[in-house]
Amino acid sequence: MNWRRNMRVSLFVALCLFLVFTVERLARISAFSEGQYQAESALRQTVGALEDHISRFEALPALIARQSEVRDFLTSGASEGQISAMNLWLKETNQVIASSDLYLIALDGTTLAASNFDRADSFIGENFTYRPYFSDAAAGGLGRFFALGTTSGVRGYYFASPVRHEDGRIVGVVALKIGVDDLESAWQGLGHHTLVTDPEGIVFMSSDPIWRYRGLLPLTEDRMARTTASRRYSDLPLQSLDHVTMIDAGKEVIRLAGTTGETRDFLTVAKSMPNAGWTVHVLFDTAALRAQIRLRTAAAVLLLGVALSLAWALRQRKARLQERIALQVAAQAELERQVAERTADLQEANDELHRMQADLVQAGKLAALGRMSAALSHEINQPLAAARNYADSAALLIDRGDLPRAQENIGQILSLIDRMAAIARHLRNVARKPDEALHPVDLHAVVTDAVKLADTRLAASGVTVHMALPPGLPPVRGGPVRLQQVIVNLLTNAADAMEGMAAPVVEISARQEGGLVLLVLRDHGPGVPASIAERIMEPFYTTKAVGSGLGLGLSISYNILKDFGGDLRVSNHPEGGACFEVVLQVASVRGMAAE
Ligand code: ADP
């Protein structure tokens, strides 16, 4: 994965570099084209100005040659006086036409008269045969030449024209020199450099003086010979101008050092002026162009950078968004996992609870079974052992012939058997629901009957029953026999609880509460301790000695009342003694019919 990423990055970088390179190249081409355009227009202007200047003087020597004063002066030879007059005339004319010097040369090359006759560097007496303008004019042509004045040391352009006698014979030459310093100084301070080379490639006019009189073309022997012959540059030593030419962005560029010494690159254009034999060069410094290129390239790079940053930011944003979504998904998954885990834990705890409950029920059942076995074995073994004793005695009594006592014994055995049968019946009642149908029962009658039934037991303990049922109680829902059984149970328990008391009393009362009738039996015994109040309704729960109680009375009573849609509640009276509340539903005729 890493190498692929690296590859992508390298490709990307290469692409960026290529883009920058291309932009730079395009910027360079356009900048150089603009530069060239400017240089060319500057060149046109410069050449135009030069041509204007020269053409203004071009025709003048021929005009002056035709003047009779000039012709006569050259034809007839000159006396002192004539020379002086001619000198003055030349000086005046020179001033009028605004040239540098105006002078007349004899055919032997000697200057006879000159406008500068009165200066130290006067041309008078100088011989100019070596100057091409003289030889050209002496031969009948129009002479023109550029040179450094051998006498004056001042650069100038020379025009010359033959002076003819009336018969057409050439008698001399009129020459005119114009300066170029003004032209040259006008080139200063422009945005470009200008220089002019002669046919040998030597710079004679230049906006930077350091390039002047230097050869742009190699200074070959031929060129040096021609230059020396015409003494164009007088005795000035000539040197090559160190430069390098090259092509940049399809344009010609020249590198050379100026007055400041440092080399610079110039976009160069040139145009020749065939009449004058000159070549005008305009040098356009490329520094400005390069700055422009750099600026444009920088702008493009900046733009590229901004675009890239933008793309990068967008990419980052997208990545962050995806990351956040992924985090959310992960968090959701984690939450779901935790929920599932908790649910599983809960389920496990629940299962455990169920198992423990089942175990408890099982343990409770076993405990109840144990208690029942102990109680039953006692209840049955005791009468069995007694019956066996009675049977043994009866057998002895029969052997002795004491039949009446034997019969008494058998009677005892029978009553023991009856008791065991009664226990069995009792148990059957617990195990199985009797088929007795439910009726509206008159509570008053049932309670009266029950008290009568329990009379023997109550009398045995000397218990008095205070019955205080209000009149007009509605009939209740139940079976009369089983309801009697419940009340007898409760009376018996009360008698048990008050055993040994001086004046034991049971109070029976009743009241109606809405759809219910509450029958309350209150004794004056010790009451039911809170610690066992919850358990006394359980089957086989008893606090009585083995043999005295089976622990079934309250359990059976509770179940009977539940069958009736009622309840059995136990509490302790504030003044002592237990309160058993038999809750019964008021019988509704329709409800009974539905049974
Ligand atoms: P048994 O009478 O055979 O013990 P019951 O189910 O009738 O069985 O009674 C369970 C227990 O309730 C009794 O052993 C006794 O401890 C308690 N009990 C019942 N009635 C009373 C009462 N009136 N006063 C005090 N305790 C009572």
Q: What is the pLDDT of residue 340?
A: 95
Cα–Cα separations (whole angstroms), residue 72 to 79, 87, 93, 263, 501: 12, 14, 17, 57, 195
111 lines ligand 1 (CB under 6 A): no
Ligand 1 centroid–CA 292 distance in Å is: 118
Q: What is the pLDDT of residue 333?
A: 95
Distance CA 323, CA 328 (A): 9
pLDDT above 70 covers a percentage of the chain that reads 96
Mutate to test the pocket of ligand 1, among 542, 548, 560 (most ligand atoms within 8 A of CB): 542
Q: What is the pLDDT of residue 452?
A: 93
Ligand 1 centroid–CA 528 distance in Å is: 8
Distance CA 155, CA 360 (A): 137
467 pLDDT exceeds 90?
Answer: yes
Distance CA 270, CA 253 (A): 12
**Angle, vertex CA 197, rays to CA 196 and CA 201, nearest 5:** 160
279 lines ligand 1 (CB under 6 A): no
554 lines ligand 1 (CB under 6 A): yes
Report H helices in 194-254.
221-230
36 lines ligand 1 (CB under 6 A): no
504 lines ligand 1 (CB under 6 A): no
Residue 595: which pLDDT band, with cuts at 50, 70 and 90? very low
544 lines ligand 1 (CB under 6 A): yes
Ligand 1 centroid–CA 492 distance in Å is: 9
269 pLDDT exceeds 60?
Answer: yes
Q: Where are the domains of the chain?
A: 25-57+182-285, 59-179, 289-428, 435-595
Ligand 1 centroid–CA 536 distance in Å is: 7
Residue 581: which pLDDT band, with cuts at 50, 70 and 90? very high
Q: What is the pLDDT of residue 591?
A: 45
Mean pLDDT over each residue of the chain, to the nearest integer:
88
78 pLDDT exceeds 80?
Answer: no
Exposed/middle/buried for 285, CB within 10 Å: 0-12, 13-18, 19+?
Answer: middle
Q: What is the pLDDT of residue 279?
A: 93
Q: What is the pLDDT of residue 80?
A: 84
Strongest mean pLDDT among 33-47, 408-422, 429-443: 33-47
Structure tokens at 179: 């300066």
Cα–Cα separations (whole angstroms), residue 410 to 397, 414, 421, 424: 11, 6, 16, 21
Ligand 1 centroid–CA 493 distance in Å is: 5
**Averaged pLDDT for residues 270-274:** 89
Q: Quick one: CATH architecture of 25-57+182-285?
A: 2-Layer Sandwich (3.30)
Tens of pLDDT along 81-109?
A: 888 999 999 999 999 999 999 999 999 99
Which amino acid residue places its CA nearest to atom 4 of ligand 1?
542
Which amino acid residue places its CA nearest to atom 7 of ligand 1?
553
- Closest atom of ligand 1 relative to the 489 alpha carbon: 7
493 lines ligand 1 (CB under 6 A): yes
Mutate to test the pocket of ligand 1, among 427, 493, 570 (most ligand atoms within 8 A of CB): 493
Ligand 1 centroid–CA 539 distance in Å is: 11
Q: What is the pLDDT of residue 190?
A: 83
Q: Which CATH class name applies to 59-179? A: alpha beta
- Closest atom of ligand 1 relative to the 554 alpha carbon: 6
**Averaged pLDDT for residues 545-554:** 77
536 in Cβ contact with 569 (< 8 Å): no
Ligand 1 centroid–CA 449 distance in Å is: 22
Which amino acid residue places its CA nearest to atom 19 of ligand 1?
493
Do the domains spanning 25-57+182-285 and 59-179 agree at the CATH topology level?
yes
Ligand 1 centroid–CA 446 distance in Å is: 22
182 pLDDT exceeds 90?
Answer: no
525 lines ligand 1 (CB under 6 A): yes
87 lines ligand 1 (CB under 6 A): no
525 in Cβ contact with 501 (< 8 Å): yes
Sequence length of the chain is: 595
Neighbours of 430 (CB within 10 A): 14
Ligand 1 centroid–CA 51 distance in Å is: 152
Distance CA 343, CA 325 (A): 27
578 lines ligand 1 (CB under 6 A): yes
Phi, psi of 195 (to 5 degrees): -145, 155
Tens of pLDDT along 10-19?
A: 998 898 889 8
Tens of pLDDT along 186-239?
A: 888 888 899 999 888 899 899 888 898 888 888 888 888 888 888 888 888 888
Which amino acid residue places its CA nearest to atom 23 of ligand 1?
494
535 lines ligand 1 (CB under 6 A): no
**Averaged pLDDT for residues 62-78:** 87
Ligand 1 centroid–CA 444 distance in Å is: 24
Which amino acid residue places its CA nearest to atom 18 of ligand 1?
493
Which amino acid residue places its CA nearest to atom 17 of ligand 1?
536
Exposed/middle/buried for 81, CB within 10 Å: 0-12, 13-18, 19+?
Answer: exposed
Residue 432: which pLDDT band, with cuts at 50, 70 and 90? low
Mutate to test the pocket of ligand 1, among 536, 550, 570, 582 (most ligand atoms within 8 A of CB): 536
528 lines ligand 1 (CB under 6 A): yes
Provide CATH code, domain 435-595.
Answer: 3.30.565.10
